[in-house]
Amino acid sequence: MPIQMNDRLPRKLVAILYADVAEYSRLTGDDEDATHRILSDYLDLIAQIIESHRGRVMHYAGDAVLAMFDAVVDSVSCATDIQEQLHAQNNNLTEQRKVQFRIGVNSGDVIEDRGDIYGDGVNVAARLEALADPGGICISDAVRIAIGNKLGLAYEDLGEQQVKNISEAVRAFKIIAGKKEEIAANSQDSSPIKLPEKPSIAVLPFTNMSSDNEQEYFSDGITEDIITALSKTSALAVIARNSTFTYKDKAVDVKQVGLDLGVHYILEGSVRKSGSRVRVTAQLIDATTNQHIWAERYDRDLEDFFAVQDEIMREIVSALDIQLLAGEQSRFWSSGTQNLQAWEYFRLARDLLNTYQTENHPEVIRLCRKAIDADSEYAAAWDLLAGCYFHMEEDARYSEEERRQALQFSHEYTQRALECDPSFSHGYSMLALLHLNSKQYDEAAISINKSIEMAPNPANILGVSAIVLNKCGEPGIAMECIRKAIRLSPVYPLWYLAALGQVTRSLGRIDESSDAFSEMVNRDPDSLEGYIGLAEILGESGQIEAARDAAVEVIRINPNFSINEYADNLAYSDPNEIERFAEGLRIAGLPE
């Protein structure tokens, strides 16, 4: 008889911590009573720590503890706290009597029944525990992605591990004992984060020293221009704005920033704009040693502002001994405009568009038009105008006619941007999205590859590349792109998780896909895309109750959601992928 839906056991996506004593048989063989007394005290302490980190002990099995957490960050923070406190307790014991736990942490789907949890999510956590050192912690790739750099920990990548009774290999990471700064203080040979083989740099937000706070866009603009220019060369790994701007208006320890972002060099500076004069200071620092490599102050007329940017980049290239390839020379020194008024209008428009507020679209268009009036050959301004119309085309709050016209304008202005600058990387990225929207897959792939060729390092372009190439039938290459994007932007925007969820789904890595979409809705409880992705992947994998929970949220956010309408707009070159997606949503219970 088929299983009725109401008979299915409840499931949920959680973080699982599994801890077990190393060498328990030896310890009990040496002194069973003493071991039991110590273990009992330690288990009480572990339970207290789990509770303090908003976790719940599900069961004890002799010398093992299983706990569940709603938040991945809480589970890992708890694991490190447990090991630190047990290490302190063990300092009072002889080497032979120390009771050390191994800990495994996983994020996944579990069955919850009669006060306990079961399933592959638990099994993987237990297998990860076996990979950990005594007194150590081992986590899954899903956990590593979810926590990012939130806890300031260092990791050793163990690669793909084939573990007992789990069909798919599990990528595992060991947490290196101590915080990053502690490890760095105790190591003179290497950084706890593996630095890229090529030079790597993070450009911190230049400080606005002007008396007028409204000049903030000016200091932010020079920072972004330098990041954009440096990202055009394949010889340098450049951390994205998304990550470096998290340090804005904060007192920073340059060495710690280097560790957090995994870079060798830091550029920081300040801007003071007063009347027709501008003062810019900049300094390049070796983050591994905290030594200044180069510093300069520029006092110039505003009309020389772009020349100052060029001089700063020349100094960086010289100091880091960067060899620009022949094709990169002209692109690297292309600033986009020499018209300061056009540049200022563009910066104001870009800041407004980045708020993702529909009501700002008319003002973004007005400011872009002002920039174009000041410099009709300003590719970035045409591209931003195209991007604004692209956002409007995707916004259901506009009428069908308004959206159709917006798409037409987006095409027109993207072409205009590339006419102004045939090497403009972001223009090709925009063109790839437009081709994908029109289901012109060959053209989309050609355009996105051209975008990467023009600028191989911008994280956001790599993120877009992951979306485009995955839908064009290249999920393997797309996976390389999204991983590189996350490496270049450790503090990444929500849509990176959408890209990661889509790519891992295409690769058949179901758990990783559900983890990515789960993290999306954890970060934004109103993420429609996150809940759609979650409903589909859970439905596809047979996790019916959890899929239906996600489907309820889809309808909450969009009461008019329709599978057929959604599937019609899915741009996958393989029609089987679209049907697969639609079937997952049907299983989740969403309406046709």
The two three-digit tokens of residue 25, written as one number: 């048989």
Residues 257, 262, 265: CA angle, nearest 5 degrees: 65
Give yes or no for residue 348 having a pLDDT over 70.
Answer: yes
**Residue 190, pLDDT score:** 35
Backbone angles phi, psi at 23, to 5 degrees: 60, 40
At residue 327, does pLDDT exceed 70? Answer: no
Q: For residue 325, what pLDDT band results from cuts at 50, 70 and 90?
A: low
pTM over 0.85: no
Give me the pLDDT at residue 391, please: 92
Using 50, 70 and 90 to split pLDDT, how confident is the model at 149? Answer: low
Of 287-301, 312-326, 344-358, 372-386, the one with minimum mean pLDDT is: 312-326
350-367: average pLDDT: 91
| pLDDT, mean of residues 212-230 | 83
**pLDDT score of 159:** 77
- Cβ atoms of 528 and 508 closer than 8 Å: no
Please report where in the chains the tokens 């090991």 appear, as a residue: 83
- Residues of the chain with pLDDT > 90, as a percent, come to 43
CATH number for the region 5-181 comes to 3.30.70.1230
Architecture (CATH level 2) of domain 200-332: 3-Layer(aba) Sandwich (3.40)
* CATH 3.30.930.10 for domain 493-592: no
Q: What confidence tens digit (pLDDT) does each residue in 75-123 have?
A: 999 999 999 899 888 887 877 788 999 999 998 878 887 778 888 889 8
Q: Is the pLDDT of residue 537 over 90?
A: yes
Q: Give domain limits for the chain.
A: 5-181, 200-332, 493-592
pLDDT at residue number 29: 82
- The dihedral through the CA atoms of 448, 451, 452, 457 has a sign that is negative
pLDDT digits (tens, 9 = 90+) for 259-268: 888 899 999 9
Chain segment 157-191, per-residue pLDDT in tens:
787 777 666 667 778 888 876 443 333 333 333 33
Residue 4: per-residue pLDDT:
44
pLDDT number for residue 183: 31
* pLDDT of 74 over the 70 cut: yes
Phi, psi of 375 (to 5 degrees): -150, 100
- Written in H, E and C, the secondary structure of 330-372 is HHHCCCCCCCHHHHHHHHHHHHHHCCCCHHHHHHHHHHHHHHH
Using DSSP's 3-state secondary structure scheme, residue 14 falls into strand
Lowest mean pLDDT among 50-64, 192-206, 420-434, 468-482: 192-206
Q: What is the pLDDT of residues 17-46, one digit of tens each?
A: 999 998 888 888 888 888 888 999 999 999
Q: HEC states along 473-539?
A: CCHHHHHHHHHHHHHHCCCCCHHHHHHHHHHHHHCCCHHHHHHHHHHHHHHCCCCHHHHHHHHHHHH
